[in-house]
Amino acid sequence: MASSNNFFDIIVVGAGPGGSFAAKISAESGYKTLLLDKELIGEKGRYKACGGAIAWELVEEIDYPEDKIARVIESLELHHVDGENYSKKGKGAVIWRSTFDKFLTDMAIDSGVKLKEQEALIDIKKNGDTYDIITKKGKYSAKYIIASDGVTSPTLKLLKWPYFRSEDLILTITKEMKTTKTYIDEVLGSDSVHLFFGIKDLIPVGYAWLFPKTETITVGWGNQINLVKNSREEFKKFENLSYVKNALKNSNQTIFKPHLIPVGLRPKLYEDNVFAVGDSGGIVDPISGKGIPYAMISGQFAIEAIKTGEKRDKMDKLGTFYQKSLDRKFLKILKAKREARDRIFQSDDNLKKFLSLWEKYRSSQIIMQKLL
């Protein structure tokens, strides 16, 4: 039995954007909340492979300080390897995930959350009405569990939840290339991020990118995992494009990291007081791979489902409340995008048509209004 100090209303496993935001809302709602992460959360803490692009609305919503932004963006440049280029205007920011995630975790702590970092969950067991979570350092108990521990979610694996289909996983490789701000401004522009497409000659289902930060270019590549033959060689093909070669010629590699992006939902998002939030549930845009805002909102909705269930005394309906609020906000759109994605990546013609529409419309408009 966990001591009363180790007994919580809600345990949130994983302090990424989904977990930290869920924990913040949980503590603000009066729940005794534990936030657990296997890594050290901090600007000098764990590195997370990520483009780090977020919409300006999110910067404003959470009051993200401008001095923590690595670059303000005004356009998304879409390059097809056949030579067509498209430019999508819109304000955004590129952030370092260690800085951004720490900011959200600090918000959670300020709201009263207890943080335990460098403590990986190694086991989870149902014990009557509560779950016991075991780490190397201790045992903690709670009635509700938020599984926000990323795409490979050890929590859901231990609970034997079904995993993603292989066609719903993108294998990515990220390299951080250190250079100078002046050179980035010259080769990539001072306020643009760049995406590269090409089914036949670059990536069958996916894309590659150059995301400039202050003095670093984040170089990324991602392909549907069951279509990858040799990821390093395929990544090299991208680096050998003349535009990319030129952009990277004055830089030094500081990081190399593979990571998965889920682009389809897990077969279930709730069971028996456990909620899958963010990447652990596959709550990601299947076309762009954007996941930060969806992780945060799903974290919020999981806590709101608990509150509603308790208030209305409908504890058997928590999963329905969660699913319904996700559906209303964006899940229906994400599901439609998952289907559309197969059509977009069917041929270079379809892809180019999508890119030309994306210049002018939001991807959700293209899909929901059937513009493609």
Cβ proximity of 79 and 194 under 8 Å: yes
Question: What's the longest Cα–Cα distance across the chain?
Answer: 64
Q: Is 92 in the site for ligand FAD (CB under 6 A)?
A: no
Euclidean distance between CA atoms 337 and 324, whole angstroms: 18
State CA 159 to chain mean position distance.
Answer: 22
Q: Is 206 in the site for ligand FAD (CB under 6 A)?
A: no
Euclidean distance between CA atoms 177 and 219, whole angstroms: 7
Euclidean distance between CA atoms 267 and 163, whole angstroms: 8
Q: 45, 92, 154, 309: which one contacts ligand FAD (CB under 6 A)? A: 154
Euclidean distance between CA atoms 306 and 309, whole angstroms: 5
Q: 114, 124, 149, 219: which one contacts ligand FAD (CB under 6 A)? A: 149
Among 52-60, 71-79, 179-187, 264-272, the segment contacting ligand FAD (CB under 6 A) = 52-60
Q: Minimum Å distance from CB 225 to ligand FAD?
A: 12
Among 181-189, 244-252, 282-290, 303-311, the segment contacting ligand FAD (CB under 6 A) = 282-290
Q: 10, 11, 12, 15: which one contacts ligand FAD (CB under 6 A)? A: 15
Q: Is 212 in the site for ligand FAD (CB under 6 A)?
A: no
Q: 289, 331, 338, 340: which one contacts ligand FAD (CB under 6 A)? A: 289
Q: Is 145 in the site for ligand FAD (CB under 6 A)?
A: no
Q: Please identify the residue of the shown chain whose CB is closest to the bound ligand FAD.
A: 291
Number of residues that bind ligand FAD (CB under 6 A): 36
Question: Please, where are the H alpha helices in the chain?
Answer: 17-28, 56-61, 97-110, 154-158, 181-188, 231-239, 242-248, 292-311, 318-326, 332-344, 348-360, 363-368
The smaller minimum CB distance to ligand FAD, of residues 51 and 309, is found at: 51
Q: 12, 26, 51, 73: which one contacts ligand FAD (CB under 6 A)? A: 51
313: alpha, beta or left? (left if phi > 0; alpha if psi -120 to 50): left
Q: 25, 27, 53, 199: which one contacts ligand FAD (CB under 6 A)? A: 53
The DSSP-derived string for 168-226 is GEEEEEEEEEE--HHHHHHHH-TTEEEEEE-TTTT-SSEEEEEEE-SSEEEEEEEEEGG
Cβ proximity of 46 and 117 under 8 Å: no
Euclidean distance between CA atoms 3 and 7, whole angstroms: 7
Stretch 302-341: interaction string toward ligand FAD, x if CB under 6 A: ----------------------------------------
Output the CA–CA distances (angstroms, integers) from residue 188 to 17, 93, 94, in the order listed.
Answer: 28, 15, 14
Q: Minimum Å distance from CB 346 to ligand FAD?
A: 24
The alpha carbon torsion through 196, 200, 206, 209 (nearest 10 deg) reads -20
Q: Minimum Å distance from CB 311 to ligand FAD?
A: 26
The smaller minimum CB distance to ligand FAD, of residues 259 and 352, is found at: 259
Q: Minimum Å distance from CB 174 to ligand FAD?
A: 5
The smaller minimum CB distance to ligand FAD, of residues 70 and 247, is found at: 70
The smaller minimum CB distance to ligand FAD, of residues 17 and 286, is found at: 17
Stretch 108-137: interaction string toward ligand FAD, x if CB under 6 A: ------------xx----------------
Q: 3-state class of 253 per DSSP?
A: strand
Euclidean distance between CA atoms 300 and 17, whole angstroms: 11
User: Where does this chain bind ligand FAD (CB under 6 A)?
Assistant: 13-19, 36-39, 49-54, 120-121, 148-150, 154, 172, 174, 220, 259, 261, 278-279, 284, 289-292, 295
